[in-house]
């Protein structure tokens, strides 16, 4: 079994309205040093296989088809074997 961690981020060229909105709130609360807030996703799950190649393939397909929007997001992942 593997534990997978996937990070999904918008491409740097694509505006992030959620980050902008949160940062606007921050300014109103007096956080004047904070800038360029960008909000992505941090996804964890388990892959029930003992073969690392199979696990990789499954994580990539899952990320590509369901976790990330390949039009405007990039993803990166790590795999860690667990008992």
Contact 59, 47 (CB under 8 A): yes
Interface residue with a copy of itself, options 14, 45, 64, 78 (CB under 8 A): 45
Q: Is 19 in the site for a copy of itself (CB under 8 A)?
A: yes
Contact 55, 3 (CB under 8 A): no
Q: Is 69 in the site for a copy of itself (CB under 8 A)?
A: no
Q: Is 13 in the site for a copy of itself (CB under 8 A)?
A: no
Distance, in Å, from the CA atom of 32 to the CA atom of 5, rounded to the nearest integer, reads: 32
Q: Is 38 in the site for a copy of itself (CB under 8 A)?
A: yes
Distance, in Å, from the CA atom of 25 to the CA atom of 32, rounded to the nearest integer, reads: 11
Point out which residues bind a copy of itself (CB under 8 A): 7-9, 19, 22-23, 25-26, 29, 31, 33-49, 54-55, 58, 61-62, 65-67
């Amino acid at each position: 079994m593997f534990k997978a961690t996937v990070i999904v981020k918008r491409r740097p060229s694509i505006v992030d309205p959620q980050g902008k909105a949160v940062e606007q709130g921050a300014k109103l609360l007096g956080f004047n040093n904070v800038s360029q807030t960008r909000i992505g996703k941090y996804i964890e799950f388990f892959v029930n296989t003992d073969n690392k190649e199979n696990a990789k393939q499954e994580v990539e397909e899952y990320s590509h088809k369901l976790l990330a929007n390949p039009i405007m997001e990039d993803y990166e992942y790590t795999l860690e074997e667990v008992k």
